[in-house]
Amino acid sequence: MKVQTLAYTSCITILLLCCQLHALFAQYNRYKWQIGTGIGLMSYHGDLSYKWIDPNQELIDLLGTNPWAYSLTMGRQLTATQTLIIEGGTGHFIANDRTIDWRGNPRTDNPNYLRALNVRTQMNWWTIGWQWQLRRRQAAAARLVPIYTMGIGMTHFTPKADLYYPSDDGQQLPYYYWDDGTIRDQPQSSGTGILIAQDGIFETSLRPLQTEGANYKPYTFHLRTGLGALLRLSPRLHLTLQANLYWTATDYLDDLSGQFPQAYESETQQYASNPAGIEGLWRGHPNGKNDRYLTLFSSLYVHFGRKAQSFKMPPLMMGALSLVEPPTTQYSSGDSLAQTATTQSTPTTIAPTDNRAAKNDRSAHSAMPKPNTTIYTSALPDSSYTKKTDTSATPPAHTTSAHANTDMLKAQIAITAQQLMQAQLQYNALHKKSPERKQLKQRINQLKKRLAALKKLDKQINAAQ
């Protein structure tokens, strides 16, 4: 019997642990709102790009420069796998015909190296979209899941170019691009000049100069698609790593699209449009494709606003012992304290028994339970419990019955403790304003009283034995 009780207790412990873990992970979908902030990098693909991600001095020296982009996202969870998101972000990208490799060395194999255009475009964007968690609806407790986003929005952009460098006396001097690919402080016609390099300060706003004769608008609509992964850190926190591609409706993110103007309004416009003075018709790419930009973000989200949800505990069976709540019966016994016990039998009234004969026999009395002590016997397999009052004076029978019923009482204590734990988990999982919390609170108080009474009864039976 002791081995059987130990097995029952071990099973209940494992069930409690599983219920606690399930309750923890199930709370991932119990919040309506989420807010997150992210940090990442930007790139773009257009007329000035050599590859999707072109190295530049900012990307090479991440800590010494400020290449970072930032985002702020608000989300409203619609279902277990879908979230409505509103995102705002800011950042910039740099593109340059004078490309370099990841070691900082010039990449003269760029076919547009001699064109010598460059741009740094400041970007601000707003997006409304949907986020899908690419998992089965049943996998609500998954810690790491892939995510996909799609949305529409608007992008505001401001392209600037590095066209001048400061002299010793503070004047802004232009760069002179020679046919050999060098940059000097004197025009090539002079035949001499000091080698210099671009200073990386993008001081000239390009849109007002109309470098191609086009007065384009500084904003555009975009479509966004994204793919990434979501890692749940706790019920209130999750971390995402996501790459997003923005398809814009303009070809002027880099101030570069079509042909060179037929005539220039000023020398400044001519220099900004064609700083190297190359000959040709097309300033941009003749395919006319619109520009796209790419972001790579790592974001941390906080969840708030718990949902009001009902919770229905499934029936739980353990062997032949049902965990369905049995009726509560009040028992009284002689001069002992009132005891509350849980049985599945109909309550009966048992009068105190004269125990004077047993008192004369000290040895018999020490082996017997106290008068009118409530004892439980098992009627397995139907798991009904029969309440008896010991009036016999035969020590062996009472000793055997006491051991058997003590084990069953301990099992009942363990079952009640498990019911109490499940009720507390249900209570904690519900919203504070849920009407079911009041009912669960009453249920928890009843279970606490019952558990205390059963423990007290167990203590009295042990003392009687």
The tens digit of pLDDT for each residue in 77-115 reads 998 889 999 999 999 999 999 988 888 888 888 888 999
Same domain, 298 and 348: no
Cα torsion 113, 119, 120, 123 to 10°: value is -120
- Say yes or no: 300 and 325 in one domain: no
Tally of structural domains, the chain: 2
Look at residue 441 in the predicted model and tell me its pLDDT: 87
Are 297 and 411 found together in one domain?
no
In-domain check, residue 18? no
Residue 179 lies in a domain: no
User: Within this chain, do residues 222 and 125 fall inside the same structural domain, yes or no?
Assistant: yes
- Per-residue pLDDT tens over the stretch 308-321: 655 555 454 444 44
Domain boundary among 306, 327, 361: 306
Residues 131 and 232 in one domain: yes
Q: Do residues 339 and 280 both lie within one domain?
A: no
Q: Is residue 10 part of a domain?
A: no
137-173 tens-digit pLDDT: 545 567 899 999 999 999 999 999 999 999 888 899 9
Same domain, 292 and 336: no
Could you list the residue range(s) of the whole structural domain that residue 358 is in? 317-464
My answer on whether 252 and 382 are in the same domain is: no
Model-level pTM? 0.61
Same domain for 291 and 396?
A: no
> What CATH number corresponds to the domain at position 41?
2.40.160.20
Is residue 188 a part of any domain in this protein?
A: no
Is 341 found in the same domain as 298? no
Residues 74 and 118 in one domain: yes
Q: Which of 145-154, 206-215, 253-262, 423-432 has the lowest mean pLDDT?
A: 423-432
